[in-house]
Structure 1
Amino acid sequence: MASNPSATAKPADHKSAEQARALPHLGGMVHEWQQWLAPGVVVAVVLAMGSLQRADLQEFRAEVQSDIRAINDRLDRVDTRFDRVNDRFDQVNDRIEQGDARINSRIDQMNSRIDQIYRLLLP
């Protein structure tokens, strides 16, 4: 009996297809990591990436802390300015109260004089 050649024959690129499935795909290209990276190099790269991430996080944290300090400094300056403005308002209010007191005193004096005049004019 003749066997079906297509059923028993393996494709010519069978070995390369198996290799392609076993290797990682990046950007649609097959990278043969085994040929140019030893396992120790992979570990070193992963550790270095972790160190870079920690360094990035530390740098980010330092930048955020610096930004927070700058914001707090600005808030302190604004708070100081508001204190000065409030002090000035207090001075203005004091002057207004002094002016009111003088006006009220003058009104009292005028009322007293008017009362004296009425007493003199009335029998």
Structure 2
Amino acid sequence: MNSVQDFLLGKDKNFFLITYKIIQENSNFFNENDPDYNLNYDYEFLYSYYTTNYYVRCKLLPDSIIEDLLNNEKFDINTQNNEIPLSPQQKLSLEESLYIKLYLRISQGTDEIILITS
């Protein structure tokens, strides 16, 4: 599976780490060698682009991690953010906001990590 990571600022002004992978037939979907395998994601969903399906995972990033990231400091992406889990409405809003962004990223064939703001 190819993996891509992006960062997204949600409509509610939260930052999210977004990863997506191509779902391939007869492949080990959860691979322990995958660097994202041990991340605790807040929301996961499937996205289709033509005949290709993607497994999309979203992780809410607390302000402390954003600060460390911007200051090039070491941080643990699995740091608990002590936030209430995402509500169904927040998940729906996040998924809807990603549809166009995912389409643009995937259709352009890009795979670098970028910071996306909305």
User: TM-score if structure 2 supplies the norm length?
Assistant: 0.22
User: TM-score if structure 1 supplies the norm length?
Assistant: 0.22
Greater share of strand:
2
Q: Which entry has the higher C-alpha Rg, 1 or 2?
A: 1
Higher-RCO chain (CA-CA 8 Å, sequence separation at least 6) = 2
